[in-house]
Amino acid sequence: MTSFPKADGAIVFVVDDDPAVREGLSSLIRSAGLKVETFSSGREFQERPRPKVPVPACLVLDIRLPGQSGLELQSELTQTEEHPPIIFVTGHGDIPMSVRAMKGGAIDFLTKPFQAEDLLAAVHQAIELDRRAIIRRHEGADARARYLSLTPREREVMALVVRGMLNKQIAGQLGTAEITVKIQRGRIMKKMGVASVPDLVRIAEKVG
């Protein structure tokens, strides 16, 4: 929970088969202080080396590409759970195309040539979304790891605590002493890394 990716580590992937467009977009996005990686095809993008630590990112994707089209790449990426949010750019977008893109979860659908501000705004929005998604995924993974460190009895107690029961009630239900429940509750809070019951409730939701 402590290893939040830093904002300045964010990266923008640009996939366009035209070098002029790639270079222009790259310079523009870099001028906004973001890192850029460019690719000439969907295949090239999918074969990129992946960082060990997840970095917030977004994908600026041309619709017309040699081989796999931008829309095809989008539906392929959607099959996998995690992928950077997509901003589509196209030379001549029609309505069915943009509907399909947005239904597929695209952040924006820009028609070339576009205003730099529109692109940068979409890029910032997409990166922010991705950052939150990464944190969510990270927190979830962290909570699950902590939960697995509990003993079976502690998990039983935790389930009852989260439901809002008092130590006395829990002891009554489990047929143990109230003092035992109090010790177990202390261990649970420590292992789950929380200081209060509301925090415990919140993290329990992440465990699922």
Partner 1 sequence: MSEEPLRKTRRKNHRKAPETPEVKQAKAALLAEKAALEQRLHETTQNLAAADAKIKEGIVDLKRADALLHAVEQEFRTVVENTPDQIIRYDRELRRIFVNPAAKASFQATLGHVAGFLRNDGKLLATPEEIEMIQGAIRSVLESGKPREFELTWPNVSGRRAFSVRMEPEFDLTGAVTSVLGVARDITDLKAAEEALRQSQAELARVARVNLVGALAASLAHELNQPLTGVISNAEAALRWLEAGPPNIGEASQSLQRIVRDGHRAGDVVTRTRSFLKKGEPAKAGFKVEELIRETFTLVQDETRRRHVDVQARIAPDLPVVLGDRVQVQQVLLNLLMNSFDAVSEIAGGTRQVIVRVKMKSTKILQLSIEDSGPGIGPELPERLFEAFYSTKSHGLGMGLSISRSIVEAHGGRIWAEPAKRGAKFNFTLPIDGRSRP
Which of 2, 8, 20, 195 is close enough to bind partner 1 by CB under 8 A? 20
Burial bucket for residue 51 (CB in 10 Å: 0-12, 13-18, 19+)? exposed
- Cα angle for residues 104, 69, 129 (degrees, 5° grid): 35
> DSSP per residue over 21-87, as a string?
HHHHHHHHHHHTT-EEEEESSHHHHHTSPPPSS---EEEEEESS-SSS-HHHHHHHHHHSS----EE
Q: Please state, in angstroms and rounded to a whole number, the distance separating the CA atoms of residues 188 and 171.
A: 15
SS3 90: strand
Contact between 31 and partner 1 per CB under 8 A: yes
Output the smallest distance, CB 142 to partner 1, in A: 38
Closest CA to 89 of 74, 75, 70: 70
Residue 93 makes contact with partner 1 by CB under 8 A: no
Rounded CA separation 12/71 (Å): 18
15-23, 142-150, 165-173, 189-197 -> range binding partner 1 (CB under 8 A): 15-23
Q: How far is the CB of 42 from partner 1 (least distance, A)?
A: 13
**Which of residues 86 and 119 has its CB atom nearest to partner 1 in the complex?**
119
Bridge partners (DSSP) of residue 57 are: 11
Among 4, 51, 67, 121, binds partner 1 (CB under 8 A): 67
Task: Please state the closest distance from residue 204 (CB atom) to partner 1, in A.
Answer: 47
Check residue 87 for interaction with partner 1 (CB under 8 A): no
Residue 121 touches partner 1, criterion: CB under 8 A: no
Q: Residue 91 or residue 105: which is nearer to partner 1 going by CB? A: 91
Which residue from 18, 44, 139, 156 is in contact with partner 1, where contact means CB under 8 A?
A: 18
The residues binding partner 1 (CB under 8 A) are: 17-18, 20-21, 23-25, 27-28, 30-32, 64-67, 89, 91-92, 112-114, 116
